[in-house]
């Protein structure tokens, strides 16, 4: 439910978006999905956010740069909103993301090695390959789909 106020103080959607470097639609979307609290509204029904909303969006942006999903960010924000540091619940979450990155790095390293091996075998003197000889290995096919 929107809060109607007679004041025009606070940041408009455009001002908030400009300050943090996102589009106004992003600000509205964050509000709609609960990452931002519902904005106060003027008598003309224009949204107004307090100045500290910029910090909240910067927190969201920082979490996104770390690869966290919006649902994960919402969970961290709910802890942050209690006044507690979201550091404790962030630990296991970040550890999972590191594990995911390590898995992806391993997959990409394997793929790179395979591609480099294929590149070493091609060139201007490369004969036409026999049918079926230019197939990826079973390990890369399996890893590419996981």
Per-residue pLDDT tens digits for 96-144: 889 999 999 999 999 999 998 888 888 666 666 666 665 555 554 555 5
Give the tens place of pLDDT for each residue, 68-95: 999 999 988 988 888 877 777 788 888 9
How far apart, in whole angstroms, are the C-alpha atoms of residue 114 and residue 85? 45
Which pLDDT value is given to residue 74?
92
What is the β-pairing status of strands 40-41 and 3-4? Answer: parallel
Whole-structure pTM over 0.75, yes or no? Answer: no
Residue 46 CA, chain-centre distance (Å), reads 28
Residue 6 φ/ψ, nearest 5 degrees: -95, 0
Which tokens in the block code for residue 38?
């519902």
Strand blocks (E) in 5-146: 40-41, 47-48
Name the residue ranges covered by the structural domains of the chain: 1-68, 85-121+140-146
Top-tier CATH class for 1-68: mainly alpha
């Amino acid at each position: 439910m929107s809060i109607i106020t007679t004041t025009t103080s606070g940041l408009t959607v455009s001002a908030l978006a400009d300050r943090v470097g996102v589009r106004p639609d992003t600000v509205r979307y964050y509000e709609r999905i609960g990452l931002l609290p519902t904005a106060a509204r003027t008598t003309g029904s224009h949204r107004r956010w307090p100045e500290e909303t910029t910090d909240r969006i910067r927190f969201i942006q920082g979490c996104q740069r770390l690869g966290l999903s919006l649902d994960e960010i919402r969970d961290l924000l709910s802890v942050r909103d209690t006044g507690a540091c979201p550091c404790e619940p962030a630990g296991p979450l970040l550890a999972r993301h590191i594990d995911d990155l390590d898995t992806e790095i391993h997959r990409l390293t394997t793929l790179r090695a395979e591609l480099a091996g294929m590149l070493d075998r091609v060139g201007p003197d490369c004969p036409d390959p026999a049918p079926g000889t230019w197939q990826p290995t079973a390990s890369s096919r399996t890893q590419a789909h996981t």
